[in-house]
Structures are given as structure tokens and as C-alpha cells.
Amino acid sequence: MTLDQTLTALRRLARDPLPAVAVASSALAVALEPSLGPDVAEALRQPDRPGWVRETAERLASAPAPFSLAALPELEKRVVLANSDVFRHSWADTLDALAERSEIRCYEAEGLITEAGDTCRELLLLMEGSARVEHSDGQGGRVEHMRPGQVLDELDVLTHSASESRIVAEEAGTRVLAVPVDSFDAMLEQDPDFARRVLELESRQLRRLTREIARQPLADQP
């Protein structure tokens, strides 16, 4: 398929009734050919489109080159959620509701993301950069290095407990998507399939943590 054929197909998809399909197709078209920004934006400005679609249309109309997904925060939030282990396979409406309530945060190197003892009111997804989780386990602590796509604090969020770890950004430009716990809880109650996936994910996490702790040497007895 030639570039012109690809762009024609993407511009056609920009009129798809599904908002996420329309916006993603428009963004791909602009990434391939920045001069199409005003044209594809016009296709998204229909009055029956959700507010986030119309907002993204305005950004696409003047998108800088080279194009970056970070220039479209509302689309980026939905992409991050849809590709995370926790929210993958969730309905588009559910992802939209979560994205509307979520916030993107950016940190400098060694910036504090959470402090030990903080009440966990948000699920944190690492979007870009890297983060260091400093666990307190009574044996001098252990450090876990996180990469984009990973959840930083899911166990504390599910148990509604105070964080026992300190999370620090390891490099400048580290970005995190914060999903409010109340939105997360509502989703668990309304979507049994989602609740099952979360349970499976946390079971794997608990098994992994148990194996890591078992490999650590026992502290000297008094």
C-alpha cells in the first residue's frame, strides 16, 4: 500500500462513529503527513462528538512536526490505559470514563512521586521514563526499578492501605498517569470480568513478591 492509499484510508476512518477509532486514525494521518492537520481536525469537529474528541481536533489542527502522542493528552491517556495489564480488554466507554478522571503528571530526576505512609488514593501507571520503588521490609529495604507500562502501587490501592514504599522518578521527563481510586473501585463493582483480571494480576504479583522475599537471607537473630 502506498502512502497516498494509507492516508486515504486513515482519512476515511477519521469519520468512524467510534471516537477512539476516529481520533487514532486522525493522529496517524497527521503523523505521516503533518499538513493534513487542519483537514482531519475538521472531520472530528462534529457537534455530536464527545468533548475530548473536539479538544483533540483543535490540537491536531496545529500539531507541531515532528508529531508526538504527548501533544494529544486525551488520546494518550486512553492509549496508556488500553495497553496496561490492568485495563487491557476493557470497554471503550470504561476507558473513556477513567481517562476523563485521570491526570498526567511529569517529574524531574529524583522527583518524589509518593512518600511512604501516603494514603493510596490513586493507581499510578508509569507512562514514560523510569521510577524507583523503595520498599521497607524490615531488613534494610529493597529497591525495585520500574519501566513504562508498569503499575507502581497496585497492591496498596486494592487494599486501601497507606503506602509502605517510597516511589522516586529516576530521570527527567518521567511521566505518570494517576487514576483516582474511587473510579477504580466503581469499575471493579460494575465489571466482573475486570475484577477477575485484577485478581489474576494481583495473584501473580503476590507470588512474585513472595519468591523475592524467600530468596533474601534471613536477618541475624538477636
pLDDT of residue 131: 94
How many Cβ atoms are within 10 Å of 178's Cβ, its own excluded?
A: 18
- The contacts of residue 164 (CB under 8 Å, 6+ apart) are 116, 135, 136, 156
Q: Which residue is associated with the grid cell 521510577? A: 131
pLDDT of residue 209: 64
Beta strands at 122-128 and 165-169: parallel, antiparallel or unpaired: unpaired
At 147, list the grid cell: 519501566
Strand, coil or helix: 49: coil
Q: Walk along the chain (222 residues) in steps of 10 and give the mean pLDDT of each run.
A: 93 91 94 91 90 94 85 94 83 86 96 82 90 73 84 63 80 94 74 73 68 61 44
Beta strands at 112-114 and 131-135: parallel, antiparallel or unpaired: unpaired
pLDDT of residue 161: 58
Which one, of 151, 85, 64, 57, lies nearest residue 113 by Cα? Answer: 151
Sign of CA dihedral 122, 125, 126, 132: positive
pLDDT of residue 86: 78
- Rounded distance between C-alpha atoms, residue 80 and residue 61, angstroms: 23
Residue 128 near residue 172 (C-beta atoms within 8 A): no
Omega before residue 73 within 30° of 0, cis: no
- Rounded distance between C-alpha atoms, residue 145 and residue 109, angstroms: 14
Amino acid in position 187: M
